[in-house]
A and B are shown apart, each in its own frame.
Chain A
Amino acid sequence: MPFKRYVEIGRVALVNYGKDYGRLVVIVDVVDQNRALVDAPDVVRGQMNFKRLSLTDIKIDIPRLPKKKTLIAAMEAADVKNKWENSSWGRKLIVQKRRAALNDFDRFKVMLARIKRGGAIQQELAKLKKQNAS
């Protein structure tokens, strides 16, 4: 089972613990075996332990220790934000956030929508069963 996601300069990672939980950051340099120098467009560059990072599939092309402007330009060029939001992982996180922010009326609407969807599925299933039986 070879590895596909490497810690390297330009790897995009998701912070999974701590104050910056949920933020996408770019690995800009490696301090030592446990820590990386990490940067994002609206964050002061700082070091972070690898234990707090989940590597993603996205990698951008940057020289080692880029200036903030170069970093932002490279992120725009690689379209990190859109790639992330369209990836299955990114979409799951967006849905989770949305679900957590529902109010009671929204949950009522969701319930109705689920019943409707379930009804449509059952109808199709009944049709197919009839076809199969005959």
Chain B
Amino acid sequence: MGNFRFHQYQVVGRALPTPSDEHPKIYRMKLWATNEVRAKSKFWYFLSKLKKVKKSNGQVLAINEIFERKPTKIKNYGIWLRYQSRTGYHNMYKEFRDTTLNGAVEHMYNEMASRHRVRYHCIQIIKTATIPAKLCKRESTKQFHDSKIKFPLVFKKIRPPTRKLKTTYKASRPNLFM
């Protein structure tokens, strides 16, 4: 699976060296953005909230995309976020099961939008982590921690194999039993 909307970047930057401070401290951030340009912009947004440095008196030293180490392994991701609702800011912790962190982050944005009507720009990701199965807190992820998992697919949606073969009217009612 390759096509992610959100990519994880590592941005490294510092303030520009001045006569009074020859070697300013270098800061590194890992963040999610749709592309590198946005990643750099986000970096300055967060950094200027934490340290006294702005884009105009700083420099980005490196920006690298971080790829998933083992995209074929299913992991439980815990995401801590801060979001703005209509009434104020809240913190939240969500768990997702996915093979890649980018996929889990995309899932998170979609879920926040659908369940809480919170859009992309109102969400800040505080922290993400891979959680071992023992430490998962949500029942909906824990129910898949079963090595002998078995469930039936309850109803079969009949779909034409390509969208070209789609028709508005069908000759007979479909059989939905799996």
Binding site for B on A (CB under 8 A): 1, 3, 5-9, 16-17, 21, 29-32, 37, 44-47, 50-51, 54-55, 64-65
Contacts and interface: CB of A to CB of B under 8 A. Distances in A.
Interface of B: 1, 72-74, 96-99, 140-141, 144, 147-154, 156-157, 159, 161-162, 177-178
24 contacts: A3-B152, A5-B152, A5-B153, A5-B178, A7-B150, A8-B148, A8-B149, A8-B151, A16-B159, A16-B161, A17-B162, A21-B162, A31-B97, A31-B144, A32-B98, A32-B140, A32-B144, A37-B99, A46-B1, A46-B72, A46-B99, A47-B98, A54-B156, A55-B178
A37 B58 CA distance: 44
A54 B162 CA distance: 15
Given A29-B74, A31-B97, A47 B152 contact: no
B69 to A, nearest CB: 15
Nearest to B73: A65
B178 A3 contact: yes
Contact of B153 (A17, A45, A50, A64): A50
A9 B149 contact: yes
Contacts of A30: 144, 149
Contacts of B153: 5, 7, 50, 55
B149 A1 contact: no
A5 B99 CA distance: 25
A37 B144 contact: no
A59 B157 CA distance: 22
Contacts of B161: 16-17, 21
Nearest to A9: B149
A1 B73 CA distance: 35
A55 B177 CA distance: 12
